[in-house]
Amino acid sequence: MKEISKIRFNAIAGYARTPRAALTGEELAYYEVEDGSILGLLIRDRTDGDFAGMAFGRDAKLRFRWTSMTDFLEDPELARNALAELMANLLEEPDEFHHQGDEKGEPVDFFTPVHPPEALHPDFHQIATEIGFFPARGIIEPMMRWHEDLDGNFVEQFQSTAFDQRIWELYLFATLIELGFSLDTAHAVPDFIGTSLFGSIAIEAVTAGPTRRGAEIVPPPPVETEEQMDAYLRDYMPIKFGSPLFSKLRKKYWEQKQIAGMPLVFAIADFSSPGSMIYTRSALERYLYGFSFDTVRDEQGKTVAKPVKIIEHRWEDKVVPSGFFDIQDSEHVSAVMSTAAGTISKFNRMGILAGFDAGDVLMTRTGTVVDPDPQATNPLLFKAIVNADGYHESWVEGLNVYHNPRAITPLEEYLIPGAAHHHCDEEGNWKTTAPRFHPLASNTKILGGVNVAQVLADFEGPAIQFWKKS
């Protein structure tokens, strides 16, 4: 057996965990056999301090689940050797040995097209066929075997009409699992009901899609000049965010008995035009709280943000009131969360980190990150080599949580650690708590046919580099 990273183990078998397992056992190391058919986990019992190995095999739906374990031993090296022997013996067992008896339905090949070529979403076709997206394909496939298709149309839509929406749901699924939530699969509404050691949460996935006129997609307005971009962020995008959020509000999810007493969160992603999510964060903030912020100097000469109340947003013949959290019934929504990272590029980067690498795919990432300097008026710029030692990333990285100041059931920040949490009161006083490295937006460049090992051998410097915007 060979040792693997926690990220790889989580990508393949982390979905089998229950939150309470962390109370009894400390995870020490992760392993897999050469062909990847058996996984191993070395643990330390928190009560007695002794050690044991747990082995995982594929069930009838090809999901890795616990099937065998060693005795508890006083020495970790003895436990590791016992785990190696157990995993070697399991290679001799038939596939049925790992079946649990509770599987329903057949395993699904998510990347075998169920539509004719002309009906496939171009991004799906790219993932399914291009070598540069092998890492994304590798990490998505085991994940989707655990994602319960409660609506019955996930694969069909993933491949065609709702690729972006399904990717957003998979991102939320992966983030919740990473944060230690177990998910209720008995209810289709809302999209996620999760329980961790710290509490429960209900999440409904929302997307802002392109404007359509019948079957035709209406192009977004131009943003080539500063004036055009200002109008786009000031009015066009707040209306684009407001439409799906208001539609979700009208469904009154808080009346569902299965989420009574839980904080309800709307998780929205911007897919209104290609790449738009990179620069529309400020438009969402503007719409949610109904404030814009002018940069001014206080009496001491320090840079401060002066809140300016917004009454409405106008674009052509559309007018919507600003301030989603001021709308009637919005007090039932505890928070809205969003990120610019809920895209296929995130899955590609996480796939590299999890070891799903074709060997000749080099990825670089450039973007902006919060500057920890309290006097900074601009974010820092960064560039990273995803394949390099020292590069780290998590699913929750870059997630923004906007708390509703009027929420009947407030969302506690500790339920979503690792995210940036934003609060704004009725006077426009803004407060943010964010991790030290909090990307605001980024682009990922894929270079195929590269001798990655040679590039990394010649590379000098840290995996992530930072500099101030000039």
The reply to whether 174 and 319 lie within a common domain is yes
Kindly report the average pLDDT of the chain as a whole number: 92
Average pLDDT over residues 326-338: 98
CA distances from 329 to 245, 250, 350, 425 (A): 12, 8, 38, 18
Asked whether residue 156 is domain-assigned, the answer is no
pLDDT at 411 exceeding the cut of 70: yes
Grade residue 392 by pLDDT with cuts at 50, 70 and 90: very high
Region of residue 301 (left: phi > 0; alpha: psi -120 to 50; beta: else): left
The reply to whether 49 and 180 lie within a common domain is no
The reply to whether 187 and 87 lie within a common domain is no
The reply to whether 317 and 223 lie within a common domain is yes
pLDDT at 445 exceeding the cut of 60: yes
Asked whether residue 154 is domain-assigned, the answer is no
The better pLDDT of the pair 326, 212 is held by 326
pLDDT at 461 exceeding the cut of 90: no
Q: What does the DSSP 8-state code read for residue 84?
A: H
With a CB cutoff of 8 Å and minimum separation 6, the contacts of 30 are 3, 4, 5, 6, 8, 9, 39, 40, 41, 42
Write out the DSSP string of 178-191: HTT-EE--S--SSS
Contact 366, 439 (CB under 8 A): no
Asked whether residue 82 is domain-assigned, the answer is yes
pLDDT at 127 exceeding the cut of 80: yes
pLDDT at 450 exceeding the cut of 80: yes
Asked whether residue 354 is domain-assigned, the answer is no
Write out the DSSP string of 85-113: HHHHHHTTS-GGGG--S---S----TTS-
| CA atoms within 13 Å, Cβ hemisphere of 13 | 23
Asked whether residue 343 is domain-assigned, the answer is no
pLDDT at 114: 86
**How many domains does the chain fold into?**
2
Last residue of a domain, one of 46, 64, 98: 98
pLDDT at 253: 97
Rounded Cα–Cα distance for residues 342 and 344 (Å): 7
Grade residue 424 by pLDDT with cuts at 50, 70 and 90: very high
pLDDT digits (tens, 9 = 90+) for 31-67: 999 999 999 999 999 999 999 999 999 999 999 999 9
Rounded Cα–Cα distance for residues 235 and 273 (Å): 16
β-partners of residue 216 are: 213
Token reading at 465: 């580099």
Average pLDDT over residues 301-323: 89
pLDDT digits (tens, 9 = 90+) for 258-279: 999 999 999 999 999 999 999 9
Contact 99, 106 (CB under 8 A): no
pLDDT at 375: 73
The reply to whether 255 and 168 lie within a common domain is yes
Rounded Cα–Cα distance for residues 372 and 346 (Å): 24
Last residue of a domain, one of 69, 98, 127: 98
The fraction of the chain above a pLDDT of 70, given in percent, is 97
Using DSSP's 3-state secondary structure scheme, residue 372 falls into coil
pLDDT at 303: 67
Asked whether residue 415 is domain-assigned, the answer is no
pLDDT digits (tens, 9 = 90+) for 204-236: 999 999 998 887 889 999 999 999 999 999 999
pLDDT at 310: 95
pLDDT at 301 exceeding the cut of 80: no
With a CB cutoff of 8 Å and minimum separation 6, the contacts of 396 are 175, 178, 179, 416, 417, 418, 419
Residue showing tokens 């929420």:
407
pLDDT at 151 exceeding the cut of 70: no
The reply to whether 176 and 35 lie within a common domain is no
pLDDT digits (tens, 9 = 90+) for 357-381: 877 889 999 999 998 887 777 899 9
Average pLDDT over residues 277-284: 95
Token reading at 354: 């999890």
The reply to whether 172 and 88 lie within a common domain is no
Residue showing tokens 């650690």:
417
What distance lies between CA 73 and its chain's CA centroid? 38
Asked whether residue 229 is domain-assigned, the answer is yes
pLDDT at 205: 97
The reply to whether 32 and 175 lie within a common domain is no
The reply to whether 88 and 166 lie within a common domain is no
pLDDT at 105 exceeding the cut of 90: no
Last residue of a domain, one of 293, 320, 338: 338
pLDDT at 106: 79
pLDDT at 152: 67
The reply to whether 246 and 331 lie within a common domain is yes
Give residue 83's domain range.
2-98
pLDDT at 65: 94
Average pLDDT over residues 303-308: 81
Average pLDDT over residues 142-155: 76
pLDDT at 104: 84
Q: How many helices (H) and strands (E) does the chain have?
A: 12, 23
Average pLDDT over residues 150-173: 87
The reply to whether 334 and 202 lie within a common domain is yes
Rounded Cα–Cα distance for residues 432 and 161 (Å): 37
pLDDT at 149 exceeding the cut of 70: no
Asked whether residue 308 is domain-assigned, the answer is yes
Q: Which of 224-228, 374-378, 409-413, 424-428 has the lowest mean pLDDT?
A: 374-378
The reply to whether 292 and 170 lie within a common domain is yes
